[in-house]
Chain A
Amino acid sequence: MLLVEGLTKHYGSLLALDDVDLGVERGQIVGFLGPNGAGKTTTMRAIMGLVAVDAGEVTWEGRPVDRDVRRRFGYMPAERGMYQQMKVREQLVYYARLGGRDPAAAGRSADDWLERLSLTDRAGDTVQSLSSGNQQRVQLALALVNEPEVMVLDEPFSGLDPVAVDVLTAIIQDQVAAGVALLLSSHQLDLVADVCSAVVIVDHGRVVLRGDVADLRAASPTRYLEVEFATPTPWRPDRVEVTSDGDRRYRATVVDADARELIADAHAHGEVLAYSFAPPDLSEVFLGAVGRDAVEEPEEPGEPGEPGGPDAVAEVAS
């Protein structure tokens, strides 16, 4: 199990991480969520040994994570970057070798991942000659070429086209099925809900919510009742907030209340064609947890100076 305990980090007077705890089991995908600048990238960099924390510890299988242990970690930084003029296979072999593999094993692993990511025929091309989709695949291969036991992916879905999202999702699921512990951060909450079994939500450097996605949704006191009438029907129940879409479809927000009365009330007003009753989805849970009105737009990687991107750390540090 990857265990992060009590991570605390100051940048000058700014508290970037405030006692952050999180855990990822083997075979588990944990989604790491939070608004821009919440501390996701700093936490992930701390796990990868790129940020010296003021307090706290990261362990893998009970062992403090040092450079040796980290050889079994795969990492995808929020900002993508590769040697543009280096050939694809050469680059994979280079990182695998730096990660401690012997030349033969590094070559096998590189070939294997090129094959699995359908990049075999681009192996001898320079990175800069590839399409951005293929560059994303190479970036993913760089995280995988060490055959990691732990994967830390910072915004892996950012900038991917739908096909690439499917490829990445399939590979992530393969890896996790094979026993990899996987932590990923993302702005795309619907993707996180599909892929991750558990989430950790941070805000202002502090964990504000954590748990199983289904449990978190169930734990919310809020339920939504959607009612569709067969014919145009005016419906205005007391003491309940209702929004409508025309005069046939209504959505009522029920907080800590019994919905059966409301359903009966709808039936009393007209012929109900359909109704549904559901807890909030993950993005609503997220917004509730961070106390914001709306999720900020997902950012594109590589734009310097954006708040919350990898540059956020630099900004507060400078």
Chain B
Amino acid sequence: MRHSEIRMIAAREIGVRVRAKSFPILTGLLMVLIIATGVISRVVDNDDTEPTAIGVAGSVPADFTAATEQIAGQFDLDVTVTDVRADAARRALEDGDVDVVVLGDDQRVLYDGDIDEEVQAVVQQAWASAGIREALVDAGLSSSEADEVASPAPLAAETLDEDDEVDGLALLTGTLAAILLFVSLQMFGSYVLVGVVEEKSTAVVELLLVRVRADQLLAGKVIGIGAVALLQFLLAILAGLVALAISGTDVPGDVWSALPMTAVWFLGGYALYSTVFALAGSLVSRQEDAQAAAAPILTVLIGSYILVYIFGYAPETGASRVLSVIPPIAPFLMPMRMAAGAASVVEVVVALVLLVATVFALWKLAARIYEQVLLRRGDRIAWREALTLLRHG
């Protein structure tokens, strides 16, 4: 019986929120914005990924083309090598048909104005290596011996302090998740706040409390609005995946594995903040007072969000580790540290346990305060006074 009442209350909330004009508009706007970032990123990337065209004129060492392609590969550069006529070389460069022209007979190389330094290095190195190889073959070495001398296997590169280097995409995903959570909590938190005040400021709450208990009312409202919030969140994630697919970005494994957990953090953060928003609503009798009652919550919410920009970008530091397990902050900071692969399993478990315990304790507290203040009309009840009610209740 108890649960069917919560379900009915939640169902009403879902119906009201989803049918409100603002929901499809805001959700649609959010999705369009996210997908647009994918499209933009693709357009921008496309300009970059056009291969560098290298034109070759006159006589060059025998393996120059092969050496250029091989060395460019080592630098992760995309190049095409084509033959051009020496007398047409300068024009081809000016027309943009090629970006670089190697004039073998003159032992010169011509560059387009804004050419990459890496490309210059590749061309020079390929020229040297092909020249050396040719000289070695002329001196009697076999082709494979000449290869070994002219193009030795490159040094295996290793970056020290790799942990400190945070993957850009992980940061981006973590930041986006934090923004999404922040926007969602503000929007749906205020739905909870305004919804509770609506019921309390009219006699609706009297008619409800005759039929259901205060904690059922609280649960139904928070769960119902939460379901809508989760729906919007999942649609935004879906839009994010579409954006990634469009942009053609490679997504690191840590980001993928952090995704389902991001939803968990989202729910945890929502449960925490919306319960307190509901409490704030229960303390006032007029919509005009609602924002004042919610001000302390907004302060914590905004503060926790801002911390992401400080400690989310330094996920391995001690401060970041400590802050990311604190319940009001964890839903913002921990997903980011997880996406960066910086959070240990222990930290995640501790943060989750703390968050769940806090939400549970808040629920117990909220249900008791709720019951005592919902029928009390008049001036705003101070938070401090609400807490003293617990002792007398």
Contact = CB atoms under 8 A, between A and B. Distances in A.
Contacts of B212: 98
A98 B16 contact: no
Interface in A55-82: 67, 70-71, 73, 75, 77-82
A98 B1 CA distance: 10
A124 interface: no
B376 interface: yes
A71 B198 contact: no
Contact of A51 (B198, B375, B379): B375
Interface residues of B, number: 27
B285 A81 contact: no
B208 A314 contact: no
Contacts of B209: 49-50
Given A70-B210, A98-B5, A99-B211, A77 B376 contact: no
Interface in A77-105: 77-86, 94-95, 97-100
B42 interface: no
A97 B207 CA distance: 13
A317 interface: yes
Nearest to B19: A85
Contacts of B5: 98
A310 B207 contact: no
B12 A82 contact: no
A105 to B, nearest CB: 14
A47 to B, nearest CB: 10
Nearest to A79: B203
Given A48-B210, A49-B210, A97-B8, A318 B379 contact: yes
A99 B212 CA distance: 8
A98 B8 contact: yes
A73 B206 CA distance: 13
B114 to A, nearest CB: 60
Given A86-B16, A95-B211, A81 B378 contact: no
B120 interface: no
Contact of B204 (A81, A305, A311, A315): A81
Given A45-B206, A304-B378, 11 more contacts: A70-B211, A77-B207, A81-B202, A82-B202, A83-B204, A86-B16, A95-B207, A304-B285, A305-B378, A314-B378, A318-B376
28 contacts: A45-B375, A48-B206, A50-B206, A50-B210, A70-B211, A71-B211, A75-B207, A77-B203, A77-B207, A79-B202, A79-B203, A79-B206, A80-B202, A80-B203, A81-B203, A82-B204, A95-B211, A97-B8, A98-B9, A98-B208, A98-B212, A304-B285, A304-B286, A304-B377, A313-B376, A314-B375, A318-B379, A318-B381
